[in-house]
Amino acid sequence: MSMPLTVVIFGATGDLAKKKLFPALYQLCLHKHLPRSLDIVGYGRSDVNLPEFINKQCAGIKEDPQYAKHLFTSRIRFHAGGYDEDESYARLAASICEYEATQPAANGIGNRLYFLSVPPSVFGAVVDAVSKHGRAPAGGFTRLMIEKPFGRDSGTFAELNQLTSSCFRESQLFRLDHYLGKEVILNIPTLRWANQIFEPVWSRQYIESVQLTFKEDLGTAGRGGYFDSVGIIRDIIQNHLLQAFMWLAMEPPTAMSAAEIVKAKVSLLRSVSTLYLGDGDGGGGFGSVFLGQYSRHGDEPGYLDDKTVPAGSTCPTFAACVLEVNTARWRGVPFLFTAGKGMDERVCELRVRFKPQPHNAMMGIVGHQNELVMRIQPDEALYIISVAKEPGITAEQVRKPVVMDMSYAQQFTGAYLGDAYERMFLNCARGDQSLFVSEAELFEAWRIFTPLLHEIDERRPQPVRHPFGLYPRGYHEWVAARGVTIRETWN
Ligand code: BG6
């Protein structure tokens, strides 16, 4: 890539820019994945001076001896402006043109990548302004990386989509779900389709349930104001876990191209039943969903103790739901999605639980079931829970569950796994949309969740209040009633 590239970050003074975006850009520069002519512009409303901005927003960058941090930060400039100030966008565009004009062999042409990390209230204004002022001259590309939320239901997504697609082509829109850039999720197609041992058993004939779990040992910690308008289903389940589900359950695409992957994902989503709340069981359990909310436990404050959360909020910080997939491969296999903040640990994993071994004369009833676990974080790993004969000279053979473990740290010693945002920036800069979210899949994703979310918003069912770090009471019974057995320990 020799053409100059300008990366503009809208919302540059925010948390995401500090924790993820600037460190990701630094790593990409360190590994020489971005062009030498690289201009990074932070756009924000507050009129901070550049050294202050860099000090604060680039504090999290881990400097590598191969690439001095100051070389990276010298590429950054800050542009202060309001999101509704036409004139500010015009000045920004002029400064980009000026930069492009000074680059050797660029003929005044450059590529432009706009990252929108802004609240929904100003999203439309930014898209409009980029379309009006910020397009690259002919010969260069203009691409937008957009962070969730992509609306809050089918209707609001349709409006948002109307807005973006009236200004930009689908090929210019890179809707980002950073879970699609996580190494273990990226490995699912290889695991399924490059190994002969998995695909033949990847169906209702051998699989009892699939469990997708996300837990965080953090609460909202003073940022509950935003979370309260969203809830855990919109925050995690409808996007991050649903994307992992798509890779686990889709039929093999005919090619690993963005277009074919989207076809396979959409076709899968079309076969998933729409969720409705259903009747309550007197606890947090309803027909389609189980809802919880963490409360104070020891020193850990509860959700309602967060000053930014409205008093008495019933917003779920924990939820579980079971998706039914109506295809020949999956009919009858429950896909259990569970997500919670304020839990005992930070973990995200996908667990495929196999049916029991049928009785056979030699083994009798084995009593243990195999599980294939994909641990997305922490400590990326793939492992299989199998059964082995316990070593020893005994009269009877004793069998016990053992773990066949493939931890990334051991298997790929010294490999650089990087952060999901690095891959997403890189793929966007390369124009590869295969890891981004298409409008077609979002229409389907919202179709599945919208009736349920509307009922939760309107009926405000009471979630089960559970102490920080513990599962809500009734969750395991609710899950068991849906045909899912959860192993007591996580491995
Ligand atoms: C974000 C959610 O999309 O993902 C956050 O809005 C959540 O609530 C975060 O904490 C988790 O991301 P990761 O990469 O830390 O697992």
Residue of minimum CA distance from atom 2 in ligand 1:
235
Reply yes or no on whether the pLDDT at 396 is more than 90. no
Model confidence pLDDT, tens digit, residues 144-184: 999 998 999 999 999 999 999 999 999 999 999 999 999 99
Going by C-alpha positions, the residue among 84, 18, 76, 93 that lies closest to residue 45 is: 84
What is the Å distance from ligand 1's center to 361 Cα? 49
pLDDT at 289: 97
| Helix, strand and coil in the chain, % to nearest 5 | 35, 25, 40
Residue of minimum CA distance from atom 9 in ligand 1:
236
Model confidence pLDDT, tens digit, residues 223-269: 888 899 999 999 999 999 999 999 999 999 999 999 999 999 999 99
What is the Å distance from ligand 1's center to 244 Cα? 14
Reply yes or no on whether the pLDDT at 41 is more than 90. yes
Cα 132 to Cα 89: distance, rounded to the nearest angstrom: 9
466 is catalytic: no
Residue type, 445: A
228 pocket-lining for ligand 1 (C-beta < 6 Å): no
Sign of CA dihedral 429, 431, 437, 442: positive
235 pocket-lining for ligand 1 (C-beta < 6 Å): yes
Residue of minimum CA distance from atom 4 in ligand 1:
236
Structure tokens at 380: 């990326």
Regarding pTM above 0.90, the answer is yes
Please check whether residue 175 is in contact with residue 442, taking contact to mean a CB–CB distance below 8 angstroms.
Answer: yes
Reply yes or no on whether the pLDDT at 489 is more than 70. no
Q: What is the mean pLDDT of residues 433-440?
A: 97
380 pocket-lining for ligand 1 (C-beta < 6 Å): no
Buried-exposed string 460-487: b where 16+ CB fall within 10 A, e elsewhere = ebebbbbbbeebbebbeebbeebebebe
- Ligand 1: which of 150, 178, 303, 345 to mutate, judged by most atoms within 8 Å of the beta carbon? 178
Identified catalytic residue from 31, 240, 297, 368 = 240
Assign 366 a pLDDT band (cuts: 50, 70, 90): low
What is the Å distance from ligand 1's center to 353 Cα? 26
Please check whether residue 424 is in contact with residue 176, taking contact to mean a CB–CB distance below 8 angstroms.
Answer: yes
pLDDT at 361: 72
What is the Å distance from ligand 1's center to 359 Cα? 43
Model confidence pLDDT, tens digit, residues 49-83: 999 999 999 999 999 999 999 999 999 999 999 99
Reply yes or no on whether the pLDDT at 359 is more than 90. no
Q: What is the residue-wise DSSP string for 24-38?
A: HHHHHHHTT-S-SSE
Cα 447 to Cα 469: distance, rounded to the nearest angstrom: 32
Model confidence pLDDT, tens digit, residues 458-485: 999 999 999 999 999 999 999 999 999 9
Structure tokens at 400: 């016990």
- Ligand 1: which of 147, 179, 214, 240 to mutate, judged by most atoms within 8 Å of the beta carbon? 240
Mean of the per-residue pLDDT values of the chain: 94
Q: What is the mean pLDDT of residues 33-55?
A: 93
Cα 417 to Cα 409: distance, rounded to the nearest angstrom: 10
Reply yes or no on whether the pLDDT at 365 is more than 70. no
What is the Å distance from ligand 1's center to 215 Cα? 10
Residue of minimum CA distance from atom 13 in ligand 1:
179
Model confidence pLDDT, tens digit, residues 198-219: 999 999 999 999 999 999 999 9
Q: For residue 61, count other CB atoms closer than 10 A to its CB.
A: 19
> Which of ligand 1's atoms lies nearest the C-alpha of 182?
14
Reply yes or no on whether the pLDDT at 490 is more than 70. no
Q: Is the ipTM of this complex over 0.95?
A: yes
Length of the chain (residues): 491
Please check whether residue 259 is in contact with residue 193, taking contact to mean a CB–CB distance below 8 angstroms.
Answer: no
What is the Å distance from ligand 1's center to 216 Cα? 9
Please check whether residue 243 is in contact with residue 185, taking contact to mean a CB–CB distance below 8 angstroms.
Answer: yes
What is the Å distance from ligand 1's center to 235 Cα? 8
- Ligand 1: which of 15, 216, 243 to mutate, judged by most atoms within 8 Å of the beta carbon? 216
